[in-house]
Every structure is written in structure tokens, then in C-alpha cells.
Amino acid sequence: MTRFTLNTPTKLCFGEKCIEFLEPYLRSHRRVAIVCGRKSARVSGALQDVEQLLGKLGIEYIVIDKVVPNPSCSLIDAVAEEVWRFGPHALIAIGGGSAIDTAKLVATIVACGGSCRDYLYGARKASRNLPLYAINLTHGTGSEVDRYAVATIDETREKLGAGVCYPTASVDDPRYTLTLPRNQTLYTSIDALFHAIEAATSTLANPFTEMLSVEAARKIFEYLPKALEKPDDVDARYWLLYASMIAGIAIDVAATHIVHILEHVLSGLRPELPHGAGLGIVGPKLLEHIYRAKPRICAEILKPLDPSLSGSPEEASRARKSLEKFLRDVGFDEKLSNYGFTEKDLENVLKLLETKPFRSWMRLTPFEVTKQIIEETYLENL
Ligand SMILES: [Fe+2]
């Protein structure tokens, strides 16, 4: 498996034992703060590798292991306060999207002031940030190569994304994903798959994001079943991580739209809904509409699942079924009610979608999203 580096805005090292790549960057700091969750940084072995490297370089550090999935602004502000008190010269994020996104916001808050919600609402400009090094532990987020951070505003339950900062340098080592539990393997791959589908079909899509998306989806369709069958298959993990990384570059260029928008509303209301699970639940129904609007590229993306797709809008329901079958075959069969949603929540969902941040994000969707589409998608997947 080839190890390589990429010089995107983030300097990325992709492949086994890439941790050494951070050494020249870390050498220039005397004090760093590590931001991570409670478990995965330790279980994956990444935290031990980082601590060993910091020890070797004589760098003083603290570990703030408070990050949880779907982090709230109050949590991020509390981490920022703790980091600010320690006064580090740089941050190291170890984890998936939640840890890396938290660290992006913290790196910005500590350098520019303000609070998490200022950046999510765009009230404050993220003009600079502490140097941030990301060690990615999942094959879903793409956050190690993009500029986005996602968090939930406590009072309104709006789960919003904002372009905050790129990590200075990142590490994608497939060995750190070998310990991902089965459901995380599934959810994070579904996340990467919808990054691919949406970045190739948004109103900002272009030949570059289409190329990345077709390739990302192809790798996910091929290697997700293998990783689920044999979780320690480092080759399968390498390609899933590769797929999520290139899909991350694709969303950095062309963003996501309706599937992510609706999922953000849902997991904003119920943070126990994992991001990838929410996408997997509402995604296939919405794909039917996306396919009708952008049939040529959708057919190209979904061809590994149904080679007979030719790119005609009439195939939309067949395309949806092919994706549903793939998800069923890899063992994903979840409903919104599994997470406590009922018919009553629909009103809140519709109300949140009417708020300003979601309305402006909605403009990236390649078709007109009506109330009826949302109602049908919600109720059919309850
Ligand atoms: Fe996502």
C-alpha cells in the first residue's frame, strides 16, 4: 500500500506510520494541547503514538478528552476555555469528525476570541487560528482535509457547519481505523458515500468533484463489505480511508446539500442519532429526487451497484432501490423511530428547515425542496 503526501491547504500524509510526518511541524512548538474523545484515541493506539512523539521531542502537553459525538457549542466553548488557560502553541486533534471539528473551532476561538456560535452564525470572521494537527481515526468525515466544522447551538438545536480553518497538517493512517466498531465502520462509510453523492450533484459541482465522487463511491461499494467481513483488513481500510479523504476534498470544493441538511436537522434535535445513520435513513429517498435532477452523474456514481443505469431521469426509483439494496446487504436497516422520533417531531423539523442558516444552505440543492418532499421523506422512514 503506497504511502504518499498531498499539498492541499492541509499538508496530508496518507498511509501506514504517517505519524512521523508530524515531527518537523511539532518540533517548532514547546507546548501543545491534545483534543480527543474518551475512547477511540486510546483504543486505536493513536494517542500513545502521539505521546511518544511529544516525549521524544520534549514537548509539554495536556490531554483534553471531553469530545462527544455531535458536539454542542457549550462543550466546544468549555474546551476552548481549558485550552486558553493552558496556553499552548498548537493543538492536536485525535479522532473522527467530532474531535477534529471541535479542535478547528477551538483553534479559531483561542486565536480570534468570541464563542462557537459566533463562527457558526458567521457573526465573527475566522481570520486566524492556532496551528492544528489532525490525526484522523475514521473513514467518513473528510474533516482532516477540509475547512468545515460542525456543531450544535444548544438553545436552538441548530446543527450547523461553517468554513473555519484547515488543519495545518493531517495524518490518515489506516491502522488507526482497524479498531472501529462495526456500526462506526458502517456509519462513517455511509457518511463518505453521501459526501461523494452530494459534492457531485450540488449547484457548485464540477468535473473535479465528479471525478473524486465517482472514485470514492466505487471504492466504498467494493471495500465496505470487505471491511465489515474482516475488520482488521488493512487493505480494505486503506481504500475506505482513501475514499473518505477524496470525498472530503470534494465537499471542500462543492459542499453537501439536502441529505446533509435534513440529517443535521434530525441529529440536532436528537444528538444520539449518529451522523452516518441519519444520512443512511433519509438518503435513499432523497437520492430519487437528486437522480431526477442530475441523472448523468448519479448514474456514473451508482453504476457499480446497477450497471444498467444509463443516466435517464426515469431510472430514479431504480437507482434508489439499488442504493437501498446495498445498504441492506451491508447490514444497515435503521429507521428514525429507533432514535425516538415520532410523527410529532415533523413540525419541529419543518420549522428548523425554515431558519436562515438552513435556507441559505438549501440553495446548493439541485432541485426545489418542497414541504411535501420533506414530509414524505420523514414519514416514509419513520
Ligand atoms: Fe457528513
State the pLDDT confidence band at 174, using cuts at 50, 70 and 90: very high
State the pLDDT confidence band at 212, using cuts at 50, 70 and 90: very high
CB 283 within 8 A of CB 298: no
The pLDDT of 185-214, averaged and rounded, is: 98
To the nearest whole number, what is the mean pLDDT of the chain? 97
The pLDDT of 234-261, averaged and rounded, is: 98
Instruction: Give the up-direction half-sphere exposure of residue 60: CA atoms within 13 A in the CB hemisphere.
Output: 6
Distance 141 CA to ligand 1 centre (A): 6
Distance 52 CA to ligand 1 centre (A): 31
Tens of pLDDT, residue by residue over 90-141, are: 999 999 999 999 999 999 999 999 999 999 999 999 999 999 999 999 999 9
Distance 303 CA to ligand 1 centre (A): 22
Distance 85 CA to ligand 1 centre (A): 32
Per-residue pLDDT at 315: 98
Tens of pLDDT, residue by residue over 288-341, are: 999 999 999 999 999 999 999 999 999 999 999 999 999 999 999 999 999 999
Distance 276 CA to ligand 1 centre (A): 7
Distance 8 CA to ligand 1 centre (A): 20
Per-residue pLDDT at 210: 98
Output phi, psi for 317, to 5 deg: -75, -35
Q: Residue for cell digits 476534498?
A: 249
Distance 193 CA to ligand 1 centre (A): 9
Distances from the Cα of 77 to the Cα of 84, 104, 127, 237, 242, angstroms: 10, 12, 18, 33, 32
Distance 140 CA to ligand 1 centre (A): 7
Distance 56 CA to ligand 1 centre (A): 36
Distance 263 CA to ligand 1 centre (A): 9
What gap in Å lies between CA 224 and CA 216, rounded to an integer?
11
Per-residue pLDDT at 364: 98
Distances from the Cα of 78 to the Cα of 106, 128, 297, angstroms: 9, 20, 43
State whether the Cα torsion 260-263-268-271 is positive or negative: negative
| Pairing of β 148-152 and β 159-163 | antiparallel
Per-residue pLDDT at 326: 98
Helical H runs in 87-144? 97-112, 116-120
Could you tell me the three cell numbers for 360? Answer: 441559505
Distance 163 CA to ligand 1 centre (A): 14
Distance 57 CA to ligand 1 centre (A): 35
Contacts of 258 (CB under 8 A, 6+ apart): 198, 286, 289, 290, 362, 365, 369
Per-residue pLDDT at 105: 98
Per-residue pLDDT at 55: 98
State the pLDDT confidence band at 216, using cuts at 50, 70 and 90: very high
**One-letter amino acid of 335:** K
Distance 199 CA to ligand 1 centre (A): 11
Q: Residue for cell digits 465517482?
A: 214
Per-residue pLDDT at 330: 98
State the pLDDT confidence band at 267, using cuts at 50, 70 and 90: very high
Distance 271 CA to ligand 1 centre (A): 14
**What are the residues facing 61 on neighbouring strands?**
32
Structural domains in the chain, CATH included, are: 4-176 (3.40.50.1970), 180-380 (1.20.1090.10)
